[in-house]
Amino acid sequence: MGFGTKSKCSDGPADNEAAVQVKGLLKLAYALGASHAAMIAPHEIMVEDRLADICANGRCENYGLSPGCPPHVSGPVGFRELQRKAGYAIVFRMTASARTLFSDECTTLMRRLQEVAAKIEKAAVRGGYRESRAFAGGSCKKLFCHDQADCAVLSQSGECRYPDQARPSMSGFGINVCELMKRCGWPSDIRPHDGEADADTTSWVAGMVLII
């Protein structure tokens, strides 16, 4: 079930029912703690094979540790198939101090990011868009099962321990997240907090839900 055919970020879905659904999902994103939330057309999401390849070239310590990361995801090819099926995408981000991103607090923030993405996805599914898919950042193994020797799914020892929270990483699908921020009209750079040059800088983490 898809939304209408309009494609600009500032436009709403073509039919009233879809418009209500999208507005509700955007409100939910803010209610869950997003600092920004927007709707864009799926074709505006830039997907690059080279970005997904970075995961496999020994540059990511999380490679192969979870079903939400390469080589266990469908990658750019699979994502492009979802793009063609989707009517719209909900993009959101959460701001945090750069200090947080380089501290032990980062794990809590990234877990929250995945949980927000999962809740938006579930709301879309309840609204009738049953194939909707959420994506976030980080490795679910590191974020949710860091104290477990293995991922239950990959080791075939059981079902996912956190099916209601954990979602796959955008990186493994080759999504250009910085370009995604630009498409939403949001600055992708790190800025001084409250405009003070000597203050802690503010950064962000982002998630996305394809509405299908």
Q: Please give the tally of structural domains in the chain.
A: 1
Amino acid 39 reads M
pLDDT tens digits for 63-95?
999 999 999 999 999 999 999 999 999 999 999
pLDDT tens digits for 154-203?
999 999 999 999 999 999 999 999 999 999 999 877 665 554 444 568 89
Is residue 170 a part of any domain in this protein? yes
User: Nearest CA to 113 among 150, 74, 78, 144?
Assistant: 144
Residues pairing with 40 in the sheet: 89
The tokens describing 201, both together, are 């800088």
Predicted TM-score (pTM) of the model is: 0.87
DSSP-based three-state secondary structure for 195: helix
Q: What is residue 56's predicted lDDT score, i.e. its pLDDT?
A: 78
User: Nearest CA to 165 among 122, 210, 129, 130?
Assistant: 122
User: Nearest CA to 88 among 188, 32, 19?
Assistant: 19
Q: Evaluate whether 111 touches 12 at the Cβ level (below 8 Å).
A: no
Long-range contacts (CB closer than 8 Å, 24 or more residues apart) made by 47-50? 47/76, 47/79, 47/80, 47/83, 47/173, 47/174, 47/175, 47/176, 48/76, 48/174, 48/176, 49/75, 49/76, 49/174, 50/174
Q: What is residue 1's predicted lDDT score, i.e. its pLDDT?
A: 37
- From residue 159, alpha-carbon distances to 32, 113, 146 in Å are 27, 22, 16
Q: What is the mean pLDDT of the chain?
A: 88
Is residue 4 a part of any domain in this protein? no
- The residue-averaged pLDDT of 128-142 equals 95
pLDDT tens digits for 14-38?
567 777 888 999 999 999 999 999 9
Is residue 130 a part of any domain in this protein? yes
Domain residue limits at 187? 16-191+207-211
Q: What is residue 202's predicted lDDT score, i.e. its pLDDT?
A: 86
Is residue 200 a part of any domain in this protein? no
The tokens describing 149, both together, are 């020797």
| Separation of alpha carbons 165 and 171, rounded Å | 18
Side-chain-side CA neighbours of 84 within 13 Å: the count stands at: 5
Is residue 201 a part of any domain in this protein? no
Q: Confidence band (pLDDT; 50, 70, 90) for 41?
A: very high
Is residue 11 a part of any domain in this protein? no
Q: What is residue 52's predicted lDDT score, i.e. its pLDDT?
A: 92
